[in-house]
Amino acid sequence: MKEIKMNNVLLQVINLVTCFPLEKTKLFQKTPFLCAVNGVSFDLKKGETLGLVGESGCGKTTTGRSILRLVEPTAGQILFEDEDVSVLTGQDMRAFRRSAQMVFQDPFASLNPRMTVGDIVEEPLLIHGLHRNRAERKDLVASVLKKVGLEPDYMKRFPHEFSGGQRQRIGIARVLTLNPKLVVADEPVSALDVSIQAQIINLMVRLQEEFNISYLFISHDLAVVEHISHRVAIMYLGKIVEIAPAENIYAKPAHPYTKALLSAIPVPDPRSRIKGMVLRGDIPNPADPPSGCTFRTRCPIAEDVCSREVPEMREIGPDHLAACHALQPAGAE
Amino acid sequence: MDRTNNSEPILKLEDLSTHFAVPEGIARAVEHLSYHVFEGETLGVVGESGCGKSVAALSILRLIPIPPGRIASGKILFMGQNLLELPMKKMRKIRGDQISMVFQDPMTSFNPVFTIGYQLSKVFTLHQKLSRKEAVKRSVDMLEACEIPSPERIMKVYPHQLSGGMRQRVMIAMALGCNPTVLIADEPTTALDVTIQAEILDLILRLKKKFGMAMILITHDLGIIANSAQRVVVMYAGEKVEEADVLSLFEKPGHPYTIALMKSLPHLGKTKKFLNEIEGVVPPPFRVIQGCKFAERCPEAMERCRKERPRLRSIEKGHMVACHL
């Protein structure tokens, strides 16, 4: 069914589960768990961008962090170039970290205010013991800064001297020094203004072409994700509910949640004001998710079966999977 | 459109300048800003962070800390009287009663140590001199009007026990409690998820219609503007660069900044490899700029733009642009 050319797949996530223990509320209670990521599977090809979209608390950030093992996954497999990341230790782990990097959301909090830009961008090289020659390192830092659109003489300045957009460029430069294969970008543009947002997105697209980087692009903004991604995965309460090529998500959304998400986005055109499908109610508490399909409490087309059975991801079109009982699988009439 | 028998705007800013003393000199957060809103109208104010849209709104309610802030010039006319000249005691009566505000962050704008009921009923005991009992009853009614499930229970909870969307609903209930004539909504949905945002916007617009208020909707999101506003003011670096009817703004944007802003947005369903970017950054507010503030980022800047500040001129009825082009 799924044609995966093994040599082309960089990252494969199979049934990833990440749970966090909660505080006990009763004396002899079993420790309750909150499963922020509850059975997520996808794969990412070389040079591809997979967008991960969802509302706050849906587990998209935890997914990104689990893949880099910044939080330990509870179950599931993460195969990076066919090697299981979740069992790596020591040297192997360092090697993995070198080729899988992260860009953070808040460019104000993710740069050490006491280090100069040069030191920040150089630090990964020192940690990984690359380019032991000092002059060589400086040259590399300068060239990387130029790549992200910053002047090499900014090296001696401190992060507070820069605007949000420039700081995000520094964050990207820091990642680039290691020449990674995978970059997990967690809401890299959501702290930025629209005009700056476009600059950073274009930069990321350009870098991807030049270095053949794969991005896992995490964001709550469907318009941004649709723009930058080749494929888009929609997450709801710890699960992927739909995954499809970017153009299909907009043209042929299948899952009711995707449809609701699309219709909720205010389109910058006064002639097409929001109409129809406004979702009612809040996202359920992820520590106590609804039975069956987790979306059923807000779903406009929920039926009996939705509260009993968890819908499986099914192929409903070429390269297009969705988890909903109301959808007919591809081929079945 | 909704401007029948009201020739006089209900709230009018005239030549407002708000400055702040900062270590680098004087930050001109708002400079010579004029806008107005008619009864029952929704005016959208759009701009990027630091463009002065929130400072202007806070100036209306006189919530600017003085010092370091200073209203350097201008008038704020509300139903004919200049708010800037009112004694604080009278101002306090207007605030929350005739002009009220919904803030961006529903978490930090409530007091965490008092229950929702306590904070909400305060509005009524203070402004309408209701007894505690009546105030509680009115609060429950308001929560109900804002479509909050089981309002009696919500009255007894603390702000942290509510979700962001619920908190914003309570905030709206609080703002609308005294049936204000003008509601200022400062990024009311920015902290919320898209699906919740759609719900809250829908609620605000319905209540606005029901209570017949005028609204100033401040946001950075052109999508929200397109969906809710009737007239729009576009701000850049403390100044108004364009003002127009929502339709003519989106169909025939006049200012290069507005045009660039619209082009830099990713559009759903329209795939392009690169977005149009606006080069450079917003100039810091303390830098003294002689010419047009957008000139250094403007693709069409001429010699004249760098020397001479463009004045607002009308390009068609109700559509004004501050640009030499």
Closest approach of chain A CAs to the CA of B229, in angstroms? 9
pLDDT tier, B279 (very low <50, low <70, confident <90, very high otherwise): confident
Q: Cβ A278–B281 below 8 Å, yes or no?
A: no
Q: Cβ B266–A223 below 8 Å, yes or no?
A: yes
Q: For residues B36 and B240, is the Cβ–Cβ distance under 8 A?
A: no
Q: Cβ A194–B197 below 8 Å, yes or no?
A: no
Q: For residues B256 and B298, is the Cβ–Cβ distance under 8 A?
A: yes
HSE at residue A332, side-chain half, CA atoms within 13 A, is 7
Does an H or E element contain A267, and which?
none
Q: Chain B contact for A269, CB < 8 A?
A: yes
pLDDT tier, A170 (very low <50, low <70, confident <90, very high otherwise): very high
Domain ranges of chain A: 6-21+34-322
Domain membership flag for residue B3: no
Please name which of B247, B59, B293, B3 lies closest in space to residue A269, comparing C-alpha atoms.
B247
Domain count, chain B: 1
pLDDT digits (tens, 9 = 90+) for B215-251: 999 998 888 898 889 999 999 988 899 999 998 998 8
Predicted confidence (pLDDT) at residue A5 exceeds the cutoff of 50: no
What residues contact residue B276 under an 8 Å CB cut-off, 6+ apart? A198, B260, B263, B264
Bridge partners of B234, per DSSP, are B46, B242
Out of A215-219, B193-197, B224-228, pick the least confident. B193-197
Domain membership flag for residue B143: no
Please name which of B307, B302, B304 lies closest in space to residue B290, comparing C-alpha atoms.
B307
Residues of chain B whose beta carbon is less than 8 angstroms from a beta carbon of chain A are: 48-49, 163, 165-166, 193-199, 201-202, 220-227, 246-247, 250, 260-262, 264-269, 271-279, 281-282
Q: Does domain A6-21+34-322 have CATH number 3.30.70.980?
A: no
Q: Cβ A227–B225 below 8 Å, yes or no?
A: no
Predicted confidence (pLDDT) at residue A50 exceeds the cutoff of 90: yes
Nearest CA in chain B to A164: B281
Percent of chain A residues topping a pLDDT of 70: 94
Domain membership flag for residue B23: yes
Distance between CA atoms of residues A310 and B321, nearest Å: 56
Burial (CB < 10 A; 0-12, 13-18, 19+), residue A216, is buried
Domain membership flag for residue B159: no
Domain membership flag for residue B151: no
Does an H or E element contain A252, and which?
none
Average pLDDT, chain B: 86
Domain membership flag for residue B204: yes
CATH number at residue B219: 3.40.50.300
Q: Cβ B195–A194 below 8 Å, yes or no?
A: no
Range of the domain at B243: 11-98+178-322
Predicted confidence (pLDDT) at residue A104 exceeds the cutoff of 70: yes
Domain membership flag for residue B58: yes
Checking ipTM against 0.90, whether it exceeds it is: no
**Cα A76 from chain centroid (whole Å):** 17
Domain membership flag for residue B130: no
Q: Reduced to 3 states, what is the DSSP secondary structure of residue A210?
A: helix
Predicted confidence (pLDDT) at residue B112 exceeds the cutoff of 60: yes
Predicted confidence (pLDDT) at residue A331 exceeds the cutoff of 70: no
Q: Which residues of A touch B274 (CB under 8 A)?
A: 202, 205
What DSSP line would sit under A140-206, residue for residue? HHHHHHHHTT--GGGGGS-GGGS-HHHHHHHHHHHHHTT--SEEEEESTTTTS-HHHHHHHHHHHHH
